Amino acid sequence: MQKIVECVPNFSEGKDLKIINHIFDAAKSIKSVRVFELEYNTSHNRCLFTIVGSPDDVLNSVFEAIKKATELIDMNKHQGEHPRIGATDVVPFVPVSDITMKECVKLSKKLGEKIATELKIPVFLYEASATKPENRNLANVRKGEYERLKIKMNKPDYGSNKIHPTAGAIVIGARKYLIAYNVNLDTTDVNVAKQIAKKIREKDGGLKAVKALGFKVDGFAQISMNLIDYEVTNFDMAYREIEKETKKLGVGIINSEIYGMIPLESLVKTVKNTFKVDSFKSEQILEKKLWE
C-alpha cells in the first residue's frame, strides 16, 4: 500500500486573488500530488488549501507554495482578524494511509530544516513535532503574533533568532485530523462571539479538544473553532453547545461552515448522533451520496 500524507498550509493572504492563485499554482507545479479545497477569507486575510500524495512529493509541493508566498507576501503590510506570525503561517502534516505520526514528524522536521536553510525563515515545531512542551499548542507559539516577533523572538527550532524581513516565521508540525469549523451569528457585536468562544473552549473549562476564538467577519460576529479531536468533540456537538449559548444571549445563528477536508468518520458520527441513524446505515447513506 502506498504511503499517503495530507498537508494543509495556511497563508497570510485572503484579499488579493492574484497572489492567492500564484501560491496555489506553485503547489500544483508538482504534478504527482493532488492540490484542492482552496479557501480564503478577506476579514481573516488568510487562505489555505489541501495537498495529498506521497510524503516526498507533498513536501516538495508545499515547499514550492511557501517559496512563492515568501516572494509575494509582505508581513509588514499584513492586517487581518486571524492570529499569524508569517507569510506562511502554519504547515501541518496529517497521516492518511500506511504512514505513522512518527513518520509525519520526521517529514515536518525535514521541511523545517529545508526552509531555514534555503529560504532563511525561522521555523517553530508544534503539536507532535514540538521539541518544547509549551510549543505543542499552536496558540502558545503564535502568542503576540508577528508584531511581537519583530521585537523579540524565542529561539526557533530551525534558523536564526531573527525573523525574515518580510515573511516572518513559520510553524510546522504533525497532527491528527483537525476540523476547522466556524459558526456565524446574526449580530455585529464581536464581544458576543468572544464570550461564547470563551465559554465553549477547553482551556476555559468548556468542551474537550476545542479551541475557539471570536472574530468579526464580513460585518458579523463569528465563532471560529479548531476541533482537534472529533472523536472527543465533533462539529455537531460544538454547534449544539453554541446554540445553547446564543439562546441565553438572545442572538441567532446565520449559518456554519467547515473549512477543508474532514474524515468520513466525522460525518458518520454526526448522522448517527444527531439523526439517530445506526452506524451501519449512516455509512451506507453517506457512501451512496458520495458516489452519486
**CA end-to-end distance (rounded Å), the chain:** 27
Distance set, CA 248 to CA 102, 186, 203, 252, 290 (Å) = 44, 14, 22, 10, 37
Pairing of strands 123-127, 34-41: unpaired
Q: Are 61 and 93 in contact (CB under 8 A)?
A: no
Contacts of 292 (CB under 8 A, 6+ apart): none
In sequence order, what DSSP letters do the residues of 76-88 get, joined into one string?
GG---SS--SBSE
Q: Is 82 a catalytic residue?
A: yes
Q: What are φ and ψ of residue 199, in 5° steps?
A: -70, -35
Type of residue numbered 177: Y
- H or E element, residue 116: helix 101-118
The closest of 10, 103, 100 to 49, measured between CA atoms, is 10
Q: What's the half-sphere exposure (Cβ side, CA atoms, 13 Å) at 193?
A: 24
Q: Are 129 and 109 in contact (CB under 8 A)?
A: yes
For the chain, the C-alpha Rg in angstroms (whole number) is 19
Supply 89's cell numbers.
503561517
d(CA 55, CA 52): 9
d(CA 252, CA 254): 7
Of 44, 78, 82, 164, which residue is the catalytic one?
82
DSSP helix/strand/coil, 256? strand
Residues forming the active site: 82
